Amino acid sequence: MDYKWILHPCTLLQNLACRFLKEIEMEIAGLFAAAFILVVAFAYLVWFWLLSRRLTGPNVWPLVGSLPGLIANRNRIHDWIADNLKSTGPATTYQTSVLPLPFVRQGLVTVTANPRNMEHVLRARFENYPKGPIWQSAFHDLLGLGIFNSDGDTWLLQRKTAALEFTTRTLRLAMARWANRSIKTRLWRILADTSNAASMCSVVDLQDLLLRLTFDNICGLTFGKDPETLSPDLPDNPFARAFDTATEATLQRLLFPGVFWRIKKALNLGSERNLRLSLKVVDRYMTETISVRTNNPSDDLLSRFMKKRDGNGNVFSASVLQWIALNFLLAGRDTSSVALSWFFWTLMQRRDIERKVLAEIASVLRETRGPDASRWVEDPLEFDELERLVYLKAALAETLRLYPSVPEDSKYVVADDVLPDGTVVRAGSTITYSIYSAGRMESIWGDDCLNFKPERWLKLAGDGKKGARLCFEPNMDKYRFVAFNAGPRTCLGKDLAYLQMKTIASAVLLRHRLELVPGHRVQQKMSLTLFMKNGLHVHVRPRNLNFDIDGGVGNLTEFCHVTTNADSTVPIAAAA
């Protein structure tokens, strides 16, 4: 019999001792790990406590920062930011963290609506507050190193080149020509068909029409090519759809830390997959357009840039030309149409303002086209006629004060700095200036800041008697109103935007009376551009000029009694 399997007592004791020691080692290792985790957690909580003491904004939680508040208020994010700023009192500045981790300064965000802080960021310390790596990496796939996604010498070269073109009267006349063409041949026809419909239930989404109209206009101005997205059948344009998808997917990258969208991009998931597919369509369209313009140059912006040289004296490459064109397309398409949507919505709430706008248009057209009102609607207003519409411009400026097309903008902090209000900003962090909030601050605009009051932009020029006339006077402190940005990055297309908006607004108001569809809820879409989430659904009625001008408003003399003290006390901003 083999007794080898029977363990010697000493061997058995050794095995038991080894097992016991291993278990002790594992328990000790577990205790050390638990102790280490507790020490790290305690150290983090101490660090977080010290951090949170310096933060003055919404509640910030360990690890998740202010994200719970952002998510809870995702359907009113701009008003939530404004509420947080108002709670700080006259400072109108707070600091928060969206990713409270040690050594990760990108999670620290300073939010301000203080005009002095905005001047500091946009002008006085301009070099310390570029677009920065977060913004540039998010937008690079769509905009490359175009003017709205670049800094330093790259930005400066494009800025100087574009400035030479945007200051010419030729470009403004070209914009007027494209806008008038689209209005007369397509917009008027669509609105007329709607207003003449037998059913009183005929509804049109005015925001959609305006987006299509301004898209056609900016494409014509930029490429010399009209995609005709504004047509009676409202066609689906592959390039327009792809550009919309690419823009929306790109904007989503800014909502969360960069690692999230980079993982989605690597895995080709969700919005990143949509971005990749849409960019293929955009690239193909732009390649064809640039090829056509290379062989057949015109007077559009793309053709003009083809004649320019870069810093080394070379012509711009096809990829750079594509970046330049898409940057102008992005800037010129949404901003005007969004502002006009809020403008028309406001006039539907404020018929008194609408009557004043109509009275001014009538006073100009009586002088330029005669007393016969039927002649006023034969063609859209000409450039010289539009220049005289100061009350309309004031109403548009007031719209942008309360509903800026770009409600928030952000900059990257290069080096530690101190803002004029004493707020310390750290290198690597982000500073956001809230244009939307600035228009709603009593400390900036007074007790009537929520009232829609175009008169705040006007003054009476002349001797106050017979020769008095209304003049548009932008507020002397231009950093209270930065809807068109300010400082070295002031929007080059500001005058073009006002021109296009006045052209479209006058063309629509002269022919049609708009009425909001009962029950239609107008809400802000939570995007970097202040779209209306559900569109702007309206009934379109024919305009009775004889009543609305003469019977409803009165003559020019009555209109000219509008002064900067006029009372427009309805808090229209509170309704949206």
Contact 433, 408 (CB under 8 A): yes
DSSP symbols for 560-572: TT--TT------G
The residues, any chain, with a CB within 8 Å of residue 572's CB and separated by 6 or more, are 346, 349, 350, 402, 450, 451, 452
Cα–Cα distance, 546 to 555 (Å, whole number): 11
Contact 316, 306 (CB under 8 A): yes
Q: For the chain, what is the largest distance between any 2 Cα atoms, rounded to a whole number of angstroms?
A: 133
Q: What residues are paired with 532 via a beta bridge?
A: 524
Cα–Cα distance, 269 to 262 (Å, whole number): 10
Backbone angles phi, psi at 83, to 5 degrees: -60, -45
Contact 93, 437 (CB under 8 A): no
Cβ atoms within 10 A of the Cβ of 265, count?
17
DSSP alpha helix (H) spans, 414-547: 435-438, 442-445, 494-511, 545
The residues, any chain, with a CB within 8 Å of residue 120's CB and separated by 6 or more, are 419, 420
What does the DSSP 8-state code read for residue 573?
G
10 Å CB burial of residue 4 (0-12, 13-18, 19+) is exposed
* Element spanning 112, H or E: strand 108-112
Grouping H, G, I as helix, E, B as strand and the rest as coil, residue 65 is: strand
Cα–Cα distance, 274 to 1 (Å, whole number): 77
Cα–Cα distance, 233 to 217 (Å, whole number): 18
Grouping H, G, I as helix, E, B as strand and the rest as coil, residue 127 is: helix
| Ramachandran sector of residue 109 (left: φ over 0; alpha: ψ -120 to 50; beta: rest) | beta
C-alpha distances out from residue 568 to 95, 451, 519, Å: 35, 6, 25
Grouping H, G, I as helix, E, B as strand and the rest as coil, residue 434 is: strand
10 Å CB burial of residue 234 (0-12, 13-18, 19+) is middle
Q: Say if residue 491 carries a ligand binding annotation.
A: yes
Contact 348, 516 (CB under 8 A): yes
Cβ atoms within 10 A of the Cβ of 194, count?
18
Residues annotated in a binding site: 491
Residues annotated in a binding site for heme: 491
